[in-house]
Amino acid sequence: MSAAADVSSRGAEAAPRWRPLGQADADWLRERAAQALRAWQDEWFDAGAFDVLDAQAFAPGQAFADGGACWRAGTSLAAQTEPGAWKRHALAAMALSAQADAQVPEALLAPLQAQMLDALLARLADALADGSPGVRAGFERALPGDNPGFAAGGVRLRIGTARDPQLLDLYCAAELAWTRPLSAAPAAKPAAPTARAEALGDNPVRLSAVLGRCRLTALQLSELAVGDVLTTAQSLHEPIALRLHADGVAPRTIAHGRPGRAQQRLSIELTTLQQKRTP
């Protein structure tokens, strides 16, 4: 095998495997950018007002939003902002109020704004690139219209303040998110057995008791009158059947018992239970 082929093979092995981006990827990039942002604020301001306000994945090939100037760092990072929007923050870095705007020469403010932005982009590139092959050492100003997006999609991080919520959009290619270490999903705990009472709940069932049977002729049935006594074939000491009724099936005997009395109600004292059916 040639040396060139060997290098190509190793590069292919090192390439991250494609996978769709999820919220965990966006949150991971957001946290890395937030750390860089905090370090930059500590360097330039007395109080931190900047934050990563939003992190959203975008589709493969989706072009960046129109408007503003664009910077690129290799093939994996791009930044978009309006340079003039940083004037207020340049005054804050000089510990001057916004009312001093008219008194500060533009020749002094413009270089300071550029230095602030360059320092922020450098911090972000260092934090997000972390040796990724698609990112050069820092950002470079892109030509107008050079915003074709990233082939595999990526994540847009929106950096701003409460007053300027869309100060800078940072576009991170999916390849940067694919370097996120993936931890194995924790083993799912088996569901705790449902308590019998909870599983059965308060579902009502219908039972009937066969107290006895007797045979009558049609003539006897037609001559029945109040006060007549019917004698069943059931003896007093013979257990009676307790049957369970369910929709769509014939009643099933589930127990036997002896008739009795509970206050003013007929009762059944169970003497035997049928074995439970197994599937």
Q: Render each residue's pLDDT in the chain as its tens digit; 279 residues.
A: 444 444 444 444 455 677 889 999 999 999 999 999 999 999 998 777 899 999 999 988 888 877 778 888 888 899 998 877 888 888 888 876 555 555 677 777 888 888 999 999 999 999 987 655 545 557 888 876 666 678 889 999 999 998 889 899 999 999 999 888 876 555 566 666 667 667 666 778 788 887 778 888 889 888 889 988 888 877 777 788 888 887 777 888 888 888 888 888 888 888 888 776 544
What pLDDT does residue 67 have?
73
Beta-strand ranges (E) seen in the chain are 51-58, 69-73, 77-81, 140-141, 154-160, 168-173, 206-210, 240-245, 252-262, 265-273
Report how far apart the first and last C-alpha atoms of the chain are (Å, whole number): 64
What pLDDT does residue 181 have?
81
CATH code: domain 16-177 is 3.40.1550
Q: Which residue has the tokens 């050492």?
A: 137
What pLDDT does residue 3 have?
43
Cβ 48 vs Cβ 42: under 8 Å: yes
Domain ranges of the chain: 16-177, 205-219+235-274
**Alpha-carbon separation of residue 123 from 3, 31, 92, 115, 164 (angstroms):** 36, 13, 20, 12, 20
Query: Out of 1.10.10.10, 1.25.40.10, 3.40.50.720, 2.30.330.10, which CATH number does the structure's domain 205-219+235-274 have?
Result: 2.30.330.10
Global pTM reads 0.58
Cβ 69 vs Cβ 86: under 8 Å: no
